[in-house]
Amino acid sequence: MLAVRKAEPLPGIRLEEVPDPPLPAPDEVTIQVHAAGICGSDLHVYKWGESYDFMRSRLPLTLGHEFSGTVIATGANVTNVRLNESVAVMPTSSCLRCNTCLAGDVHLCNNKKTLGLSRDGAFSRLVNVPALSCISLAPETDLTLAALLEPLSVGDNASAVGGVTFGDTVVVLGPGTIGQAIIRTASWRGASRVIAVGMNDGPRLQTALALGATDIIDLASCGSLKDGLQALMGSATVDVVFEATGHAASIPDGLSILRKGGVLVTAGIHSRPVSFDLTPFVRNQLQLRAAHGSRRKSWEAIARRIARDPDSVRPMVSLELGLTQAEEGFQRCFERDVSKVILRPE
């Protein structure tokens, strides 16, 4: 079968013919992939930044960890999903044995493994996955939109870490996939004003509006974040800021617009150290928190939302391509003129 692979620790990807996966292990299932999204993490892997050097010993590897599909084979011990059932798949599996897992924080597992990063992923027609990672989908679910469950759940986890609640004014720095997911989920959680911020990011900012942002700011036209907020609201302080850019300057910028006691949640992956002035941080009792990954309860709740209201997330999908067009899909993502690019192995 054809697969999109990371072959070596250098920039780029390869299209390769690989064997079909073996029969699933007792606690695994085989998924026929319907749709798989290109993630920001995949872009980092393509460029091969230092923060993904942990993959070196696992190469070559099939990429892809945001996906949906159909169960076509089950292992002997599998009871939670059935043959021919439509599912989305949580890409990260926990060991269930380390101290963190035993304390109930399985999403923070010390020994977690991730499809498409530490074992073969879903940029292929078939993939074997742990059965417990499968999220059953309602029969009416649009399977292309179900591939958005992973980023939406990451966004919902970030919104939960930030404590977003009814009436909050929220700023989201970065209108990429995770920023868009935060916008959507912060709106679902009751934020009254959600402001999306980008830099020369017109198409993705328009998508942010379609996903529930109440306002947008393009920093290319307003000079600074504070100036843009002042012009928009007559004030330059907000309740919660989410950083989803991966750019170091976003952290001090985000802290500078928080009200006293406000929260900044960083969800971006950074390749450089970050520095900021601790004195106003301490005096204003600001909170800096990190959000990474997701929890199963977010997946299950969002799966129900997508089945019930698919149009609420449909604007996230900009382009659907076949596996042979994967390079084009990656380049469009790098150009930032699209939101989510979906690869269709079929």
List, for residues 226-275, the tens digit of each pLDDT value. Answer: 999 999 999 889 999 999 998 999 999 999 999 999 999 999 888 788 99
How sure is the predictor about 329, in pLDDT bands with cuts at 50, 70 and 90? very high
Same domain, 35 and 144: yes
pLDDT at 176 over 90: yes
Residue 307: inside a domain, yes or no?
Answer: no
- What does the alpha-carbon distance between residue 273 and residue 264 come to, in Å, rounded to a whole number? 17
Same domain, 326 and 260: no
What average pLDDT score do residues 305-309 get? 97
Encode 246-283: b = buried (16+ Cβ within 10 Å), e = exposed. Answer: bbbebbebbbbbbeeebbbbbbbbbeeeeebeeeebee
Residue 297: inside a domain, yes or no?
Answer: no
Residue 239: inside a domain, yes or no?
Answer: yes
- What does the alpha-carbon distance between residue 24 and residue 31 come to, in Å, rounded to a whole number? 10
- What does the alpha-carbon distance between residue 345 and residue 334 come to, in Å, rounded to a whole number? 21
Same domain, 202 and 237: yes
Same domain, 144 and 204: no
What is residue 51's predicted lDDT score, i.e. its pLDDT?
76
How sure is the predictor about 97, in pLDDT bands with cuts at 50, 70 and 90? confident
User: What confidence tens digit (pLDDT) does each residue in 119-138 have?
Assistant: 999 999 999 999 999 999 99
Higher pLDDT, 53 or 175: 175
Same domain, 249 and 329: no
Residue 296: inside a domain, yes or no?
Answer: no
- What does the alpha-carbon distance between residue 25 and residue 281 come to, in Å, rounded to a whole number? 51
What is residue 104's predicted lDDT score, i.e. its pLDDT?
83
User: What confidence tens digit (pLDDT) does each residue in 18-49 have?
Assistant: 999 999 999 999 999 999 999 989 999 999 97
Same domain, 10 and 143: yes
What one-character-per-residue DSSP string does 176-209 give? SHHHHHHHHHHHHTT-SEEEEEESS-HHHHHHHH
**Count: domains in the chain:** 2
Q: Is residue 21 within 8 Å of 65, Cβ to Cβ?
A: no
Same domain, 159 and 261: yes
What average pLDDT score do residues 88-109 get? 88
How sure is the predictor about 308, in pLDDT bands with cuts at 50, 70 and 90? very high
Same domain, 117 and 192: no
Tell me what the pLDDT averaged over the chain comes to.
95
pLDDT at 63 over 80: yes
Residue 70: inside a domain, yes or no?
Answer: yes
Phi, psi torsion values for 109, nearest 5 degrees:
-45, 140
What is residue 332's predicted lDDT score, i.e. its pLDDT?
95
What is residue 111's predicted lDDT score, i.e. its pLDDT?
85
pLDDT at 218 over 90: yes
When mean pLDDT is compared across 57-61, 156-160, 268-272, the lowest value belongs to 268-272
Same domain, 228 and 317: no
Same domain, 68 and 88: yes
- Residue 263: domain span: 152-290
Residue 161: inside a domain, yes or no?
Answer: yes
Which CATH number do you get for residue 132?
3.90.180.10
- What does the alpha-carbon distance between residue 245 and residue 233 come to, in Å, rounded to a whole number? 23
Residue 85 belongs to what H/E stretch? none
Same domain, 9 and 144: yes
Same domain, 139 and 157: no
Residue 339's nearest CA partner among 320, 322, 325 is 320
Residue 97: inside a domain, yes or no?
Answer: yes
Which CATH number do you get for residue 212?
3.40.50.720
pLDDT at 109 over 90: no
What is residue 110's predicted lDDT score, i.e. its pLDDT?
86
Residue 13: inside a domain, yes or no?
Answer: yes
Backbone angle region of 330, left / alpha / beta, with phi > 0 → left and psi within -120 to 50 → alpha: alpha
What is residue 80's predicted lDDT score, i.e. its pLDDT?
96
